[in-house]
Structures are given as C-alpha cells and as structure tokens.
Amino acid sequence: MDVHTNIPLKNYLTMKLGGSARFMTTATTADELAEICRNARKQNLPFFILGGGSNVVARDEGYGGIVVRNRILGFEVVQDTAASVTIKVGAGENWDETVAKAVDMGLSGIEAMSAIPGTVGAAPVQNVGAYGQEIADTLVSLEAYDSLEDRFVTLENSDCGFAYRHSMFRGDQAGRYGILSVTLTLYKAAPTPPFYEAVQKYFDEHNITLYTPLAIREAVIAIRADKLPDPKLLPNTGSFFKNAIIEQWQLDDLKKTWPDIPSYDLGDKRAKVPTGWLIEKAGLKGQLLHGMRVHDKNALVLINESATSYADLAAARAEIIGKVRDMFRIQIEQEPLEI
C-alpha cells in the first residue's frame, strides 16, 4: 500500500477547510487496515479512519498522524427469511448506493436515510438517522479491528452504545475500533404510517397512498434536495448542529416565553427541540458569519461560502452557540467529528 505525506485534508472533506495530514493511505481489506493501525501504534502515531469526509472537519494545524481512507467493499445476503433479509456490507461502500440496493430488493428499514453522503462504516459512528429512522434500528452487528487488543472483533448492537447521533465510536471508545463491515436486518413488509411529518406532507401533496420503500426513498431524496445543499457544489457537512435534548422542566419554562417552540417527547422527562428553529429565532438564518453562511432553507446547515480556515468556522460556530445560549439557555452541540 502507498503512504503519502503532507496531504491537504480540505481535498478530502466536504467542508473544504483544514490543514494537512502528516500521512495518508487507503485500506481495501481488513488485513490492510489492521496492519496500518498496528504499525501506527508501534510508532506512537495517532490514526484516524476516514470515510467519505462528509461529517468531519479538520483544524488548521492539520493531523499529526496517519489518516486511513476506508475503502473495504462488499455486499452479501447472509440470511433470507419469510419476513426479513439480513445483509452484510463493507464499511467502505457508499451509504446511499447501499440504500438504493436495499430498496431495489424491496426491503424496508433504511429507505428514509436516502441521499445521506458518506460510507457505510461511518453510519454507526454517529448513529446516522433521518426522517424517523436511524442505523441503530436495523444494525444487528458489525465487524471491527480492535486496535487496543490487536484483534478482529464482532460487536453486537447492544455493545455500540447507540444514542441520538452518538455511539461509543465517537464517545469513550473513540479511536479504538476500525469498522470493517456492518450487518443489517431489513424487512419485506411494506412500511406503514405514521410517517415522519415531512414525508407524510410530501405524500399528501403528491397524492401518494401506495407506501413502498421506493416511494419513501423518492420522497426523502426530493425533500433533501430542496432543503439541503449539495456538498459537491456548496461546501458543507450537512447538519452542523445536533438537535437539542433538554429536560421537560426546561421546556415547560421556555414555553412561557416561546409558546410555539416545537418539541418531541423522548420520554424519561426529556424532549428534543429542533436546533434549526432555535438558530432561526436567534435571527441567524441566512446570515453570513466569518465566511460561513447559515443556510436559508435549513439553519442547521453551515455552508462554507468564503471561509479560508478552520478558525473562521470556529468563530461562526461560537457566535451561533453563544446567541442560542443567551436567548434560550440551551447549549447546542456540533455534529461533525474533528481531527
């Protein structure tokens, strides 16, 4: 395998910012990925496994270790029953192409996550989700290289520490595992209502009453195309901020001032509040901050319009977080990983 030096990370990240990686290479097999990580540990060199670069931002100082581009491919059916099909997919496969294959097979479970950029292996890291589905709903297990114990392991769904846009892979075990493949169980039965509000609205507007995985995929692709900028045309990482999770008492208090604040009951006396709504109410939707444009159709998205450094992004982020905190007493959080 070839190892390259001093590689500009902005060429591999959809936000198009950041310094250089000291080293960069590509792994196409599990053994290659393990060898790279093993050698890095021996040299006390940090490593970062990169998928499509659509949910990662790089700091200006760059990355002093080795960035490993995961390109491990594969797609196979491992079990086919009367009600479901279980598939095993290589971590380097394109996520949306995988969704398309599943939909072509008539399978339901990931169709609402259509048009999300990135790779299959990145999906469990942040527990990717959209329009009422998330990867934790269908993931059975995943295969990974455990760099701490220098061995290949199989981790079950319950091992992964899944939560809203979170897993142990970006939490207390960040940097330990290199994901090699993901096994999902998808379903042959047609999806049934209730659907996510935006999807149902699309169905109603287009007089769609035959609910299939393809119908949902097409609806989601259309919705996303309308509200999310294409990172190939406008540099961005999709949703830059997570939706806010707050205590019920805090929501009750906010409703005294903001009776129209939208929220979703999560149980356990907690609620999710759309961060895009908070940013919009703070007067920032559509604003240009330090070269970063708050998207005028979806305030969760930051577009790199003229920023030239991570410092610009950090300044825009701090301004947005500060204004939301000052107005609502809610501390919003960044979604993309940083290297």
- With 90 as the cut, is the pLDDT of residue 165 above it? no
d(CA 244, CA 327): 14
- C-alpha angle with apex 307: 302 to 309, nearest 5 degrees? 110
If 0-12 CB within 10 Å is exposed, 13-18 middle and 19+ buried, where does residue 282 land? buried
Contacts (Cβ under 8 Å, ≥6 apart) of 266: 245, 272
Average pLDDT of the segment spanning 323-327? 97
pLDDT at 6: 93
Provide the percentage of residues in the chain whose pLDDT is more than 70. Answer: 100
Choose the catalytic residue: 217, 239, 293, 317: 239
Q: Let me know: does 90 contact 211? Beta carbons within 8 Å.
A: no
- With 80 as the cut, is the pLDDT of residue 246 above it? yes
Average pLDDT of the chain is 94
Task: Encode 233-265: b = buried (16+ Cβ within 10 Å), e = exposed.
Answer: ebbbbbbbbbbbbbeeebbeebeeebeebebee
- With 90 as the cut, is the pLDDT of residue 245 above it? yes
- Largest alpha-carbon pair distance within the chain? 61
165 catalytically annotated: yes
Average pLDDT of the segment spanning 3-9? 94
224 catalytically annotated: no
239 catalytically annotated: yes
Provide the percentage of residues in the chain whose pLDDT is more than 90. Answer: 88
- With 90 as the cut, is the pLDDT of residue 164 above it? no
Q: Is omega for the bond preceding 259 within 30 degrees of 0, making it cis? A: no
pLDDT at 234: 93
- With 80 as the cut, is the pLDDT of residue 1 above it? no
pLDDT at 268: 87
d(CA 316, CA 111): 33
| Structural domains in the chain, sorted by start | 4-70 (3.30.43.10), 75-187 (3.30.465.10), 197-227 (no CATH), 236-338 (3.90.78.10)
Look up residue 338 and give its two tokens. Answer: 């940083």
pLDDT at 227: 87
**Among 270, 216, 222, which residue's Cα sits nearest to residue 243?**
270
End-to-end CA distance of the chain: 23
**Among 314, 288, 165, 300, which residue's Cα sits nearest to residue 236?**
300
Average pLDDT of the segment spanning 9-29? 96
The helix or strand, by DSSP H or E, that contains position 133, with its residue range, turns out to be strand 133-134
Choose the catalytic residue: 54, 111, 165, 317: 165
Q: pLDDT digits over 95-110, tens only? A: 999 999 999 999 999 9
pLDDT at 267: 86
Side chain identity at 66, as an amino acid letter? I
